[in-house]
Structure 1
Amino acid sequence: MNSLLYALLAFFQKSMYVLGLETSCDETGVAIYHSEKGLINHLLYSQIDMHSEYGGVVPELASRDHIRKLVPLIKQCMNEAGLTSRDIGGIAYTAGPGLMGALLVGAATANSLAWAWRKPAIAVHHMEGHLLAPMLENNPPSFPFLALLISGGHTMLVEVKGIGRYHLLGESLDDAAGEAFDKTAKMLGLGYPGGPKLSELAKRGTPRFKFPRPMTDRPGLDFSFSGLKTYTMNALHDTAQSDQDKADIALAFQTAVAETLSIKCKRALQQTRLDKLVVAGGVSANSVIRQSLTEMADKEQALIYFPRPEFCTDNGAMIAYAGCQRLIADQHQGSVILARARWPIEELPPV
């Protein structure tokens, strides 16, 4: 009788709904993931319109907006899924890295719900969420694989042997790829967010300039985009700065970033002898970067995986998924409210 009871308890522990909350920067994401049924529902509210007036994210305004939007989004997400607090097995939240004030909104909300509903709270690493986002697709990658994580705040290459089994191979020594896109867009007089606007401008460009591919003429897997940003500024100053000049410069910059990422990923695939590449994070939605990496992977006879565009940006679905995997492994924080502006991904425990 006892063995049957334990088997039932183990089954119900692994069959659960997890509520995921994402508040690391300027998007409020809420999602519900089921360990067996997959993604049930997800909602996302973007603060782009609010921050565009200032040309970038204002941390205090971001935090206040998360406070206003998070609880209504939770209610809406659960109502649309037809679920109540009794159905939820745990609450996952982004604990870092990110803006401290914004992180604290999600952490405090998640832990308050966990206390009120008598459920566990699970602190999720933001970049682990991005890394696992392709697992939400119908054809997810299997371990081990190489991961390129490219976002506004991070550019890193990670060897992934399993959930929590991460080896950092290389990272940006200064500006991340997304940050370089935004700063270059600002030089070109484009609005916020700069990355998508620069990519749109580059479509009208002609291959008139060839910009350097930074740190590809030396061994290693680290990245540096600050020099490319300076090179772009100098090129802009040396032209008449007509609309066509700006489009040509945008194209040259985007091509340089895409080829730099491809060169580094090719080097990492050969070094690790892995045959699968996962590309995730906000910048992975860029079509030129996707095409460049896909062509490289094909030549290297490696499979490549991208999350769908809606899961490239910050979202609650990836947090719910990552939290669910850790909750199944009985990993949670108890009553500790965890928020870390900086958090090395290699510190995470294995599942």
Structure 2
Amino acid sequence: MERNIIETAMRILGIETSCDDTGISIYDDKAGILANHLYSQVKTHSDYGGIVPELASRDHIRKTIPLIQAALKEAKLTGQDLDGVAYTAGPGLVGSLLVGASIGKSLAFAWDLPAIPVHHMEGHLLAPMLEDNSPHFPCVALLVSGGHTQLIAVTSIGRYQLLGESLDDAAGESFDKIAQLLGLGYPGGAMLSKIAQQGKKGRFFFPRPMIDRPDLNFSFSGLKTFAANTIRDHQADNQTRADIALAFEEAVVDTLTIKCKRALEQTGFKYLIIAGGVADNLQLRTNLAVMMENRGGKAFFPRSEFCTDNGAMIAYAGMVRLKHGINLNLIISVRPRWPLEDLPKL
């Protein structure tokens, strides 16, 4: 079924189940977000020190339908009041993705609506569009989360070129692993940044990986190992832990900042989007905002609640895709590995 560009108000249900958070939202392209609900599985997985895929899938099964019902009730809508159902089709955990895809396709069929498969990272990239001060294009996008660290050249919405990415651990994954070694629990990225505020600057200095290379790729595995060895070799009192946390955070933030600056220089773009879970890091936001101001450009961030996985970004990305026309079928399919550049151009 083809849908042409629609000028009237459009309401999209967004379903996000790519990993361990169940996000449900309803977005109206005239009124904005009508409802936004999120169920976090942190307590479920914290005892294991990481995400257990089977447990994640089971929680999505339990929570997705009740959250959709709650969102419809809050927005005072029924399924017949919607124009489409958007769901995360990848990348992510295959079991979690299948839950959202199955529910999204089934509801779309029952309500006679288009079902829109959404790329998870496009959702993150477009999350700043949910703000009043939305990004300008063309721009460079830094997508930085637990599973991804990527630099993307964005000429317009739907037109993306991968400039560089992590060759091993993503930045967010490295934050969580070092936090765990510091005894901060899981997920520990935010807790690491919190204790880093008490750290003594200059006591430790960690390497900035791959900044001497001309490309725009990242590698955080060596930095993670360096930090792990430092933790092993020093007494784990509170001040030392804070000092190590600060040195590690500085190394990651400096590396990301240097690579963003290089991407801007290579593309000639004046604007920068920062999105994904690590985009909520205060030091990263500050460094990149200052860097862009010094360059005469501007940085755009989503608010904290839209940095992590959420249904609103999926609803918005689905709305954009629907307005440009989609082909609807009843096949339920997901792509656990899905390059952003493989998306159909808008």
Q: What TM-score, normalized by structure 1, do the two folds share?
A: 0.95
Aligned counterparts, 1:223-234, within 5 A: 223-234=218-229
C-alpha distance 263-185 of structure 1, shift in aligned 2 (>3 A):
same
Structure 2 partner of 1:338: 333
Structure 2 partner of 1:5: none
Cα distance in 1 for residues equivalent to 2:92 and 2:312: 17
Q: Which runs of 5+ in 1 are unaligned?
A: 1-8
Structure 1 partner of 2:120: 126
Structure 1 partner of 2:137: 143
What whole-Å deviation, never above 9, does each CA across 1:296-325 have from its counterpart, x for those lacking one? 111211110000000000000000000001
| Deviation larger for 268-277 or 228-237 | 228-237
SS of aligned partner of 2:258: helix
| 2:153 is equivalent to residue 165 of structure 1 | no
Cα distance in 2 for residues equivalent to 1:333 and 1:261: 39
SS of aligned partner of 1:148: strand
Contact 2:199 2:244 in 1 (8 A): yes
SS of aligned partner of 2:83: strand
What whole-Å deviation, never above 9, does each CA across 1:133-163 have from its counterpart, x for those lacking one? 0000001012211100000000000000122
Q: Which amino acid aligns with 1:64?
A: R
Please state how far the C-alpha of 1:15 moved relative to its aligned partner.
2.6
Runs of 4 or more above 3 Å deviation:
9-14
Structure 1 partner of 2:171: 177
SS of aligned partner of 1:337: coil
Cα distance in 2 for residues equivalent to 1:24 and 1:110: 13
102, 105, 115: which one pairs with 2:99? 105
Contact 1:30 1:316 in 2 (8 A): yes
Q: Percent of aligned pairs with the same residue?
A: 59
| Deviation larger for 199-208 or 275-284 | 199-208
Structure 1 partner of 2:319: 324
SS of aligned partner of 1:246: helix
Contact 1:31 1:77 in 2 (8 A): yes
Contact 1:136 1:318 in 2 (8 A): yes
Contact 2:4 2:325 in 1 (8 A): no
Please state how far the C-alpha of 1:74 moved relative to its aligned partner.
0.2
Structure 1 partner of 2:276: 281
SS of aligned partner of 2:33: strand
| Deviation larger for 63-72 or 201-210 | 201-210
Structure 2 partner of 1:210: 205
Cα distance in 2 for residues equivalent to 1:255 and 1:309: 20
Contact 1:276 1:302 in 2 (8 A): yes
Q: Which runs of 5+ in 2 are unaligned?
A: none
Contact 1:326 1:332 in 2 (8 A): no
Cα distance in 1 for residues equivalent to 2:66 and 2:211: 47
Structure 1 partner of 2:306: 311
Structure 2 partner of 1:267: 262
Q: Which amino acid aligns with 1:237?
A: R
Cα distance in 2 for residues equivalent to 1:113 and 1:132: 24
Cα distance in 1 for residues equivalent to 2:328 and 2:120: 16
Contact 2:15 2:311 in 1 (8 A): yes
SS of aligned partner of 2:333: coil
Contact 1:146 1:160 in 2 (8 A): yes
Contact 1:123 1:332 in 2 (8 A): no
Alpha carbon RMSD of aligned pairs, Å? Answer: 1.3
Count, aligned residues: 343
What whole-Å deviation, never above 9, does each CA across 1:178-221 have from its counterpart, x for those lacking one? 00001111111110111011111211111111111100012110
| 2:294 is equivalent to residue 299 of structure 1 | yes
| 2:209 is equivalent to residue 197 of structure 1 | no
What whole-Å deviation, never above 9, does each CA across 1:233-255 have from its counterpart, x for those lacking one? 11112212222111111100000
Please state how far the C-alpha of 1:13 moved relative to its aligned partner.
6.7
SS of aligned partner of 1:334: coil
Contact 1:162 1:350 in 2 (8 A): no
Aligned counterparts, 1:232-271, within 5 A: 232-271=227-266
Please state how far the C-alpha of 1:336 moved relative to its aligned partner.
2.0
Aligned counterparts, 1:14-25, within 5 A: 14-25=8-19
Q: Which amino acid aligns with 1:341?
A: P
Structure 2 partner of 1:34: 28
Cα distance in 2 for residues equivalent to 1:97 and 1:156: 14
